[in-house]
Amino acid sequence: METGLRNYLKVPVAVSGLHASYRLADGRVAVCGYVSGRSGGKATSPALFAGSLAAPGSRNFTPLRVPGKGQDTQRIATVRAYCQAEQINI
């Protein structure tokens, strides 16, 4: 999952506060948490992220693509709504 986020963000990342839910119908695992990057040798502020794994144990992580960056309020609201829809309280 960190590799998927690193490829998406194009910077080294650290993931924390992970929560997940599993759908029996299709085997998809929704994941929500916080990600920090490194810029100029300093860690960035943690930003809320969401995405999904295609199947349990899969390394194929697909980030939820939402307009905006980091602490953008509209982006955060959209990610929170996705997490709540997936029964993840974060």
Residues 27, 19 contacting (CB under 8 angstroms) = no
Q: What is the pTM of this model?
A: 0.81
Q: Could you report the per-residue pLDDT of 4-21, keeping only the tens digit for each?
A: 777 777 778 888 899 999
pLDDT of residue 56: 59
The closest of 76, 78, 69, 89 to 20, measured between CA atoms, is 89
How much of the chain exceeds pLDDT 70, in percent? 93
| First-last CA distance in the chain | 18
Q: Could you report the per-residue pLDDT of 21-40, keeping only the tens digit for each?
A: 988 888 888 999 999 888 78
Mean residue pLDDT of the chain comes to 86
**DSSP run (H or E) holding 69:** none
Residue 55 pLDDT > 70, yes or no?
Answer: no
Ranges of each domain in the chain? 2-85
